[in-house]
Chains A and B, each alone.
Chain A
Amino acid sequence: MANPIEHGGAAAQSNSFRQQPDEHGHFGGRYGGRFVAETLMPLILELNEAYEAAKADPAFHKELVYYQTDYIGRPSPLWFARRMTEAFGGAKIYLKREELNHTGSHKLNNVMGQILLARRMGRTRIVAETGAGQHGVATATVCALFGMKCVIYMGATDVERQKPNVFRMRLLGAEVVPVTAGAGTLKDAMNEAMRDWVANVADTYMLIGTVAGPHPYPAMVRDFQSVIGEETKEQMRAAEGRLPDVVVAAIGGGSNAMGIFYPFLDDTSVRLIGVEAAGHGLDSGKTAASIERGRPGVLHGNRTYLLQNADGQIDEAHSISAGLDYPGVGPEHSWLNDIGRAEYVGATDTEALDAFQLCTKLEGIIPALESAHAVAYAAKIAPTLPKDTLLVVNLSGRGDKDIFTVAEHLGVTL
C-alpha cells in the first residue's frame, strides 16, 4: 500500500500543487492559518510538532497501515458501476467504495490516524464534533477500541435527524452532548467542541473530522484521507491501464474530496470536481455551498470561503444532508478553487434524493445522502462525456443512517 502520509520528497516537482500549506499553515499564502485563542495556541503548536514527528516515524506509519488493513478493511474496492454507466449513456462510472469501511464511511481513515497520534501524545480524553454522526461514530469506535474517554458534540437538530447514529455512539460508550446554540447543526457543534477543548487542555485531544480547523488539522486530515486517492490511482491503473479523467466528490468540510483529490493534484489531466450541497438551490438562500455562494473569512481557526452576511456574521447553512450542512469548507479547497485546479459545483436536496434512489436501484448500493450529491452531479455530466471517459465518484459513505430522512421526504412512514 502506498504510504498515505508521506508526500513531497524526491517525487515532488518544484511547481507541485502538493506542497501546501507553508510552515504557517497557509494555503496559497492566504487560506488556512491558525486563528485560535491564546489558550489553544500552544496546544496546536505542540500538535503540529507531534504530527511532524509521527509523519517522519516509520513505526507510526506501520501501526497505521496495520489498523487500516485489519480493522478498517482497506483497501476499499473500486467498483465499475456497469448499470449506472449504461443508464447515463456516457462516461464509464466507477465508484470508490469508502462506504465499505468499518463504520460505513471514509471518516475512520482520518480518525484512526489521529487517535494513534493522540495516544502518542499521551492524551486520554477525546472530544469531537459531528454533523451526520459518521465522524462521531468513527471517533466513538476508536475510543472503544483503545479504551479512551469520548465526548461527542452534536447539534440538537442533527441529533433529531440522525437518531440511529446517536444510539450507535452511545452504545460505543461515548457521551453525546446535544448543542442547542444557533441552528443546532455542525457549526454549533464545532464551537462547543472547541470550548470543551479550551477548558480541558491537559488531558484532552480534539479530533476534528474534516480538513478544516487551525493548522495542522487541514493538512493532517488530508494526509490521513489521501489513502483514498492513492488506492484509486493504483486500482484504476490495474483496471484501465491509465489515470481517471474525472474525479467527483461531495464537499461538506471537504475531507473525502481532499483525500481523493490530493494524490491527483499534479496529474493535471485529471479533472477534479467538488460537489457542494446547494440545498434548495444555489440562489435560494438555503444552501451550504460555501465556495459558490460564500466569501473568504475566518471561522473555526482558519481563513476560508464562508457563508456570511455583509457584516461578517456567519449564516446558517442548509442541506438535507447533515454531513454537508456547514457554512465553511476546508482552506485547501478554497485555494484549489481560486487557482482553478479543482471545480466546485452544486447539487440540490432534490437532486441528491433522486441520486440516492438511483444508486440504490441500479447498483444495489445505498449511498449516504452526502455521497448522493456526488452521484447526482456525476449523473448530470456523464451523459455529456465520451464513452471512453473514466469518471470516479467517491462513494464516501453508506446510507443506512439516512433511511428515516429519505422516507420522510418520500412521504413514507416507517
Chain B
Amino acid sequence: MSRIAARFKALAAEGRGALIPYLEAYDPDRATSLELFRAMPAAGADLIEVGMPFSDPSADGPVIQAAALRGLKAGATLVGVLDMVAEFRKDNDETPVILMGYVNPVEAYGYERFCKDAAAAGVDGLILVDLPPEEGAVIAAPAQAAGLDIIRLVAPTTPDARLEYVLAHASGFVYYVSIVGITGTRSASAHDLAGAIPRVRAATDLPIAIGFGVRTPEQAAQASSIADGAVVASVLLATLAETLDEQGRATPQTVPRVLEQIGGLAQAVRAAGQKPE
C-alpha cells in the first residue's frame, strides 16, 4: 500500500480527517524550509504538500506568488526540491509527501526522469496545477511506472459529466478546490462544502481533501470532517512572511511561529474527531 493510502486508511480508523499543510520549498531559504519540513509531522501534519517554485504561478494568489519568488531567489530548482525530500525521508518514512507545482519545470526536467527521481527521493504524489487530464498523457505512464500518484483537482465548476472523466485519471486522493478562484483569496462556507462533497464522493472511492481557502482551525476542522482532509497553504505562508526581516531573511521566530499555527490547526482537526459518515 502506498504511503498516501496507508495514511488515509489509518486516519479513517481513528475516525478523523487529515491535516495537510503546505510548504514552499526554499522559502525563504533551503535550510529554514527543510527545518520546517522536518518538524511538520511532529506539529501535527498528516500529509505534507511541498510547493515547487515557479516563475509564473497563474493559479495562485499574492501570498503563494511571493513565496515562490522567495524560493526562486534562494536558488530553488527541481533537483534541489527532490534533494530536500530525500533528506526529509532520512528520518521519516511514514508521512506522505506530495509535490505541487506547474508543469513547465517538470517538462524541462523530463517527465520520465522526474518521476523516477521523485520516487527515489521519497515523493508519493504529484499535483500539477496546469496539467489537466486532457494533457496528462505525458506523465501518466512514467508516474505509474515510478509508483507516484497523480492527484487531480476537482472544482465547483467541474460538471458531473466531466467529474467522471477527471476522476478516471486520478489516484492517491482527490483535491477539491473549494472556491472558484485563486489560492488565498476567499473561503467556502460549511454549507457550500456540505453540498459539494457528496457529489464528488458519489463519483469516487478515493479520499477527498479540501483546499483553497482553508485558513482557520475551525475551517480546517470543518473541511476535514466534511471530506477526508484539509489543505492549508496561504495562511501558513503569510505567517512565515510576517516573521522575515527587512531583507526577507528568516528570523528565530520563523519556524516556531509556523509550527505553532500548524499545531493549532492539528488540534482542531483532531478534536473534530468522529466524522458524520
Contact = CB atoms under 8 A, between A and B. Distances in A.
Interface stretch (B38-46, B150-158, B236-244, B252-260): B150-158
Contacts of A194: 58-59
20 contacts: A33-B135, A35-B130, A37-B155, A37-B177, A38-B153, A38-B154, A39-B153, A40-B157, A194-B59, A195-B182, A199-B181, A199-B182, A297-B107, A297-B108, A298-B102, A298-B107, A299-B56, A299-B104, A301-B130, A312-B54
B153 A313 contact: no
A314 interface: yes
Contacts of B72: 313
Interface of B: 54-61, 65, 72, 77-78, 102-109, 129-132, 134-135, 152-159, 162, 166, 177, 180-182, 185
Contact of B130 (A37, A42, A181, A187): A37
B78 A311 contact: yes
Contacts of A299: 56, 104
Find the residue from A38, A43, A295, A312 having the highest chain B CB count within 10 A. A38
B223 to A, nearest CB: 18
A298 B132 CA distance: 13
Interface of B is mostly: loop
Contact of B59 (A45, A198, A313): A198
Given A41-B155, A42-B155, A311-B109, 5 more contacts: A37-B129, A182-B56, A199-B182, A312-B107, A313-B54
Contact of B157 (A181, A201, A312): A201
A181 B65 contact: yes
Nearest to B131: A35
B227 to A, nearest CB: 16
Interface in A29-54: 33-43, 45
Contacts of A42: 155, 157-159, 162
A271 B155 CA distance: 46
Interface of A: 24, 33-43, 45, 181-182, 187, 190-191, 194-195, 198-199, 201-202, 295, 297-301, 306, 308, 310-314
B54 A35 contact: no
A43 B158 CA distance: 9
A191 B55 CA distance: 10
Nearest to B182: A195
A104 B102 CA distance: 37
Given A24-B134, A195-B58, A314 B104 contact: yes
Given A199-B182, A201-B180, A312 B109 contact: yes
A39 B84 CA distance: 30
Contacts of B107: 297-298, 312
A301 B107 CA distance: 14
A310 B157 contact: no
Nearest to B80: A311
